[in-house]
């Protein structure tokens, strides 16, 4: 007991096992990760720039999309630079503060994105089903309140997680079998019984995933019903293109999130956790701006206009 308390009180850093396992292909896979990271950063910054500079994109839908881009940037920039620095330097340590920061930011953004995707679905429902009242119902005050509520929801979850994770004693090996500090990977190192907290995490994840997903499904059932009844016009095609982009993002995010977080702790494995984490920390932030830019005429038009100003 004395040794456990000493280890807990003197805890100052963890060791991250990393993403790569000393194979001949490590440099190749590392290059792919950096390429995906660069594409995610450039794509989301470009999308934010377009939304900020083009007045045609100053609408509630693009305001929420800008929030999604900020979340994607925070998510990928929280994880990949530290992982890359450890790989290049050969040093695998992460400080206690750095580990807590990673948990806080990843959990906050993950939770906030769940709520934001539900808000975006509700926005499309209001735009398609109540077009005349839409400017009044979704005014800037309402949009800001919904966005702030999404961030607060994610932040509340992350504060609880960080507080609980670091209330447990850690003794013996401090090697986190992951490429960043994630809650389940840290709990495996604790020398205390964490089963009750793991059950609580599971219950919270079910609620935070399924409730927003219910809002998304209900909103799009109404949207698709309204779109089907529209005459074959350009407005119908635009509504379908916009909604299909959002549904693609929802599928991409929720596919990884449900597989990752709606599993009991006993069913999780370090390899499975790493695979799903790559999905939502690297691939999803890279694909989101591509999905919205390639399938959205307003964004592609704004991009052509910007390139034209630059003489390209």
**230 vs 236: CA distance, rounded Å:** 6
State mean pLDDT over 61-81.
Answer: 95
- Highest mean pLDDT of the ranges 110-114, 147-151, 303-307: 147-151
Q: Which two tokens stand for residue 164?
A: 């609980």
- Highest mean pLDDT of the ranges 35-49, 160-174, 252-266: 35-49
- How much of the chain is helix, strand and coil, in % rounded to 5? 80, 5, 20
Please give the pLDDT value at position 275: 81
Please give the pLDDT value at position 9: 42
pLDDT digits (tens, 9 = 90+) for 152-192: 999 999 999 999 998 888 877 788 988 999 888 888 888 88
- The C-alpha R_g of the chain, in whole angstroms, comes to 21
Q: Strand, coil or helix: what is 182?
A: coil
Please give the pLDDT value at position 8: 46
Measure Cα distances from 58 to 8, 49, 125, 156, 289 in Å.
51, 12, 18, 29, 17
Residues in Cβ contact with 68 at an 8 Å cutoff, skipping those fewer than 6 apart: 113, 116, 117, 120, 249, 288
Residues above pLDDT 70, as percent of the chain: 91
Q: How confident is the model at residue 39 (pLDDT cuts 50, 70, 90)?
A: very high
Whether the Cβ atoms of residue 220 and residue 124 lie closer than 8 Å to each other: yes
**183 vs 198: CA distance, rounded Å:** 9
**181 vs 273: CA distance, rounded Å:** 11
Please give the pLDDT value at position 59: 93
**150 vs 64: CA distance, rounded Å:** 11
pLDDT, mean over the chain: 86
Please give the pLDDT value at position 266: 65
**18 vs 82: CA distance, rounded Å:** 10
State mean pLDDT over 243-257.
Answer: 81
**284 vs 196: CA distance, rounded Å:** 31
Q: Strand, coil or helix: what is 190?
A: strand
Please give the pLDDT value at position 62: 93
Residues in Cβ contact with 171 at an 8 Å cutoff, skipping those fewer than 6 apart: 3, 4, 7, 8, 191
């Amino acid at each position: 007991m004395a040794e456990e308390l000493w280890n807990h009180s003197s805890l100052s850093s963890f060791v991250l096992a990393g993403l790569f396992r000393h194979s001949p292909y490590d440099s190749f896979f590392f290059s792919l990760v950096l390429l995906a990271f660069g594409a995610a950063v450039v794509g989301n910054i470009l999308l934010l720039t377009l939304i900020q500079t083009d007045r045609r994109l100053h609408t509630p839908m693009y305001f929420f999309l800008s929030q999604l881009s900020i979340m994607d940037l925070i998510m990928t920039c929280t994880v990949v630079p530290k992982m890359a620095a450890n790989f290049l330097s050969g040093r695998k340590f992460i400080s206690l503060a750095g580990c807590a920061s990673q948990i806080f930011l990843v959990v906050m953004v993950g939770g906030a994105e769940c709520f934001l995707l539900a808000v975006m679905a509700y926005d499309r429902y209001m735009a398609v089903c109540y077009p005349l009242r839409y400017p009044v119902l979704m005014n800037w005050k309402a949009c800001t309140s919904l966005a702030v509520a999404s961030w607060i929801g994610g932040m509340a979850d992350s504060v609880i997680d960080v507080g609980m994770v670091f209330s447990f004693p850690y003794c013996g090996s401090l090697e986190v079998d992951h490429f960043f500090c994630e809650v389940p990977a840290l709990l495996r190192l604790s020398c205390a019984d964490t089963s009750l907290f793991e059950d609580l995490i599971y219950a919270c994840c079910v609620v935070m995933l399924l409730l927003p997903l219910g809002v998304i499904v209900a909103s799009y059932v109404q949207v698709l019903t309204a779109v089907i009844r529209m005459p074959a016009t350009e407005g119908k095609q635009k509504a379908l293109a916009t909604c299909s982009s959002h549904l693609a993002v929802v599928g991409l995010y929720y596919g990884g999130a449900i597989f990752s977080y709606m599993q009991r702790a006993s069913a999780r494995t370090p390899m499975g956790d790493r695979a799903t984490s790559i999905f939502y920390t690297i691939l999803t932030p890279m694909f989101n701006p591509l999905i919205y830019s390639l399938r959205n005429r307003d964004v592609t038009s704004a991009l052509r206009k910007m390139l034209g100003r630059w003489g390209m």
